[in-house]
Amino acid sequence: MNKSTKGVVLWFTGLSGSGKSTVADSVYQILKQKDIDCERLDGDTLRENLNEQLGFTEEGRKRNIDIAGFVAKMLSNHGIIVLASFISPYKMQRQKLRKKIDNFHIVHLNAPVEVCERRDVKGLYKKARQGEIDNFTGVSHPYESPQNPDIQLNTDREEIEESVNKVIGFLQDSKYI
């Protein structure tokens, strides 16, 4: 495989339904087609396979992100481009990751909650509004938007391809690929 010159972590953050997994998956496919070492870490997949015992309390969310950050750091230390998609609602936690991980960049997928609700194929927002899901980010749990993300994607106004191209452009401009 073609190694990037150095590992990097792109941390995709935003509300559920903002497009984190969609954009990260598309970037992943492009990198794989170019034979570039990369890996995808996704919040749902990580919870299902490593952290199923963690709930959605503040402590459970923080522990989940600590574990995801540790895995991302290990991979990036080996020259792998890591595309990590996690709601990660807390500003302090993202700052903590930035301090611990070299070449850590925040990709904020900015979309209003109303847009995310319309995209919600799982019906999670509806369940949260009906009180069936506690601590749902954007409804009954806060999301602290990044103030100065490295990449800002306005997925309510951009086509997926435009958002993907911004991420690929960032990787190229930063000499990661």
Enumerate the active-site residues.
88
* Local structure of residue 132 (DSSP, 8 states): S
* Vertex 18: Cα angle to 13 and 21 (nearest 5): 70
Residue-by-residue DSSP string for 86-110: -----HHHHHHHHHHSTTEEEEEE-
Amino acid at 103: N
Report yes or no: 152 and 158 within 8 Å, Cβ to Cβ: no
Give CA–CA dist 132/28, Å, rounded. Answer: 34
Q: Are 109 and 143 in contact (CB under 8 A)?
A: no
H helices present in the chain, as ranges: 20-33, 43-49, 58-76, 91-100, 113-119, 124-129, 160-173
